[in-house]
């Protein structure tokens, strides 16, 4: 089967920019999801009335529905209510909605895993609840959750392929467009696969490294 190398080379600039878009959408989504998760963690830790159960409702809604539906709702349904949002912005909002819920759960598990004795030690040296959260609980919860957080970051990066459905020019959308335009299906699929492997296998190996490092550093709990 012939492989049109010349053609592939000619598409490289487009793919480089596609990778850029993937990383852009991915990292912004990671950042915003993390912010949402931290706010939710604080709400839960301080047992803020009304907001706390709302956080639980949000988490259940976002974790039990597909990203695609969340995305379609924002991009296709909201305009009929007068709210018109670009593909890129819809992608960020939808991914934040979903990612925020996942990260909230991870942080919650991490905070629960911090031994009660730590909280008691902190309180007995006179820390306020806010100081306790900031200096004692969150750092330790962060380390405990690190593998799960990192795994979710990789997951969010992979989910960027879904936003190709609303014409965001990331890797999958670019591949589809070129296939539709030039019919070089074989070459384009190969490029797409190659890019995914190059992008995600190192991340996966990095995750294993983090998991192993943290296992050795754990003191018995």
Partner 1 sequence: MASSGLELLWVSAPQLAQGIGRTLGISLLAIAFSSVGGVIYGVLRNLGVRWIDGVLLVYLELFRAIPVLVWLYLFFFGLPIFLGWSIPGFWCAVLVLSLWGASETGEVVRGALRSIPRGQREAGLAIGLGPLQLYGRVLLPQALRRMTPPLINVFTRLIKTSSLAVLIGVVDVIKIGQQIIERTYESVLIYGFLFVFFFLACYPLSAASRVLERRWNHS
Which residues contribute to the site for partner 1 (CB under 8 A)?
1, 60-61, 63-70, 72-73, 76-81, 158-159, 161-162, 164-165, 172, 175-176, 179, 185-186, 189, 192-193, 196-197, 200-201, 204
- Smallest gap, in angstroms, from Cβ of residue 195 to partner 1? 9
Report how far residue 38's alpha carbon sits from residue 185's, in angstroms, rounded to the nearest whole number: 43
Give the residue with the Cβ less far from partner 1, 130 or 200: 200
Give the residue with the Cβ less far from partner 1, 78 or 127: 78
- Smallest gap, in angstroms, from Cβ of residue 50 to partner 1? 22
Residues 6 or more apart from 178 whose CB is under 8 A from it?
Answer: 11, 14, 184, 188
- Smallest gap, in angstroms, from Cβ of residue 37 to partner 1? 18
Angle between helix 87-113 and 5-45 (nearest 10): 50
- Smallest gap, in angstroms, from Cβ of residue 53 to partner 1? 15
Give the residue with the Cβ less far from partner 1, 141 or 172: 172
Give the residue with the Cβ less far from partner 1, 60 or 121: 60
- Smallest gap, in angstroms, from Cβ of residue 203 to partner 1? 8
CB 114 within 8 A of CB 140: yes
Give the residue with the Cβ less far from partner 1, 64 or 124: 64
- Smallest gap, in angstroms, from Cβ of residue 131 to partner 1? 32
Give the residue with the Cβ less far from partner 1, 130 or 183: 183
């Amino acid at each position: 089967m012939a492989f049109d190398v010349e053609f592939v080379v000619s598409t490289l600039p487009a793919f480089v920019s596609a990778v850029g878009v993937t990383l852009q959408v991915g990292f912004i989504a990671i950042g915003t999801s993390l912010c949402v998760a931290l706010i939710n963690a604080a709400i839960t830790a301080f047992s803020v009335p009304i907001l706390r159960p709302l956080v639980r409702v949000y988490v259940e809604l976002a974790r039990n529905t597909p990203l695609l539906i969340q995305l379609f709702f924002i991009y296709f349904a909201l305009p009929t209510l007068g709210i018109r949002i670009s593909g890129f912005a819809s992608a960020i909002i939808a991914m934040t909605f979903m990612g925020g819920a996942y990260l909230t759960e991870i942080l919650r598990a991490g905070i629960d895993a911090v031994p009660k004795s730590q909280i008691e030690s902190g309180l007995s040296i006179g820390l306020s609840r806010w100081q306790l959260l900031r200096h004692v609980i969150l750092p330790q919860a962060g380390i405990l959750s690190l593998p799960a957080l990192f795994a979710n970051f990789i997951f969010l990066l992979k989910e960027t392929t879904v936003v190709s459905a609303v014409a965001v020019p990331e890797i999958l959308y670019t591949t589809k467009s070129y296939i539709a335009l030039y019919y070089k299906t074989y070459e384009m699929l190969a490029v797409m696969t190659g890019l995914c492997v190059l992008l995600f296998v190192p991340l996966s190996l990095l995750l294993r490294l983090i998991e192993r490092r943290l296992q050795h550093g754990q003191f018995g709990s």
